[in-house]
Structure 1
Amino acid sequence: MLLTYLGLGIILGLSMAAPPGPVNAMIANESMKSWLHGSSIGAGAMTADLIFFIIVYFIQGYIPTPIRNALYIIGGIFMLYLSYLTIRAKMPSKSIKGNYFIGLSMGLTNPYQISWWITVGISIIRSLSILIIPGFFVGILIWIIAFPKAVNMLGSKYVKYVKVISSVILVIFGVYLLYEGILNVI
């Protein structure tokens, strides 16, 4: 029974971590320096997931609309800024520790992660059990190690494409978040 929960949790964690989005765009960009730089972005985002899990578990996902709207707008502006830095190849921090905090701040302001925890997270915890959560974080851990290693192994000859694709993804998400945040305020 525990192995079933572990397996389901791993699949769920991978399904949340793997889709293209702003965090994976930053992981890919930073992985060109080293896989640890990329993994540190992912570790920060995973810490945000842990924070959201704790919030959802204890308050059952209550996040007031004004706070959610503010997170959309702040997240959108932050992602546009990161897109600019990505295309210029200048990150706010060049250290692994700094990248961790970038990943954490992206995760905490990423409406995808927030929405996932408010919707899927609550229903998974209620319907399957809290026993699925360790596997969930193992799945994310697998992704934040394997994905940066794969990107780093591709080598620097693909760095231009990784930067452009990462930047475009960040712009799309940034504009979307701003649109949603402003639309919900109006």
Structure 2
Amino acid sequence: MNFLLYLGLGIILGLSMAAPPGPINAMIANESTKSWLHGSSVGAGAMTADLIFFVITYFIQEYIPNYIVKILYIIGGAFMLYLAYLTFKSKMPSRSVSGNYFIGLSMGLMNPYQISWWISVGISMIKSLSISIIPGFFMGIVIWVIVFPKAINILGNKYVKYIKIISTIILLIFGIYLLYEGISNVV
């Protein structure tokens, strides 16, 4: 019974990590208008970043320096602004599925939301619920990475212009926010 409980809790936590609107979901939505596989590849890249953060969090939970997080804010903000521009112009850095995977991975590795989530919720999740919750957690992310792009692909072809505009706005907002937070924390 504990296995099912941990699996269910893990799926819920994984969905709570993957589902909130943000720059990665904006990129997934934009790429899903080409095909669900293009969108899923962005999500798979971001999920790989979560796996990397899980390993880092698990092994060096108490030693993550704060100054690295501040630098990632600035780099991540500049990257988000660049992606907003490319999304608006509809010219992604790579139109291949593998290229989208690396975009998702780099966005995930520079996304302060993911970093903050792992430093705060991730550490407490591992300490209070043990690593038994991790399989369900990643299963929840996989569910999101498959279902969200398929839904956008089915609905998005009618609304491509709106998805592009909304994705651009979300990327701009996050880019400006990350730059502001990074610069204000450095000064």
**Alignment TM class, shorter chain as reference:** over 0.9
Q: Which residue of 2 aligns with 1:176?
A: 177
Residue 37 to residue 19, structure 1, CA distance change in 2 (3 Å): same
Q: Which residue of 1 aligns with 2:7?
A: 6
Q: Which residue of 1 aligns with 2:140?
A: 139
Shift in Å, 1:62: 2.8
Q: Which residue of 1 aligns with 2:84?
A: 83
Deviates more, 1:102-111 or 1:154-163: 154-163
* Superposition CA RMSD, Å: 0.7
Read off the aligned partner of 2:123 and give its amino acid letter: I
Aligned residues: 186
Q: Does 1:60 align with 2:77?
A: no
For 2:103 and 2:136, locate their aligned partners in 1 and report how far apart those are by CA, in whole Å.
25
The answer on whether the counterparts of 2:156 and 2:163 sit within 8 Å (CA) in structure 1 is: no
Q: Which residue of 1 aligns with 2:102?
A: 101
Shift in Å, 1:61: 4.9
Report percent identity of matched pairs. 77
Structure 2, unmatched stretches of 5+, are none
Q: Which residue of 1 aligns with 2:34?
A: 33
Q: How does 1:6-25 map to 2 (within 5 A)?
A: 6-25=7-26
Deviation beyond 4 Å, 4+ runs, structure 1 = none
- TM-score of the aligned structures, taking structure 2 as reference length: 0.98
The answer on whether the counterparts of 1:61 and 1:117 sit within 8 Å (CA) in structure 2 is: no
For 1:161 and 1:63, locate their aligned partners in 2 and report how far apart those are by CA, in whole Å.
39
For 1:66 and 1:115, locate their aligned partners in 2 and report how far apart those are by CA, in whole Å.
13
Shift in Å, 1:63: 2.1
The answer on whether the counterparts of 1:25 and 1:170 sit within 8 Å (CA) in structure 2 is: yes
The answer on whether the counterparts of 1:26 and 1:166 sit within 8 Å (CA) in structure 2 is: yes
The answer on whether the counterparts of 1:56 and 1:62 sit within 8 Å (CA) in structure 2 is: no
- TM-score of the aligned structures, taking structure 1 as reference length: 0.99
SS of 1:5's partner is helix
Shift in Å, 1:64: 1.4
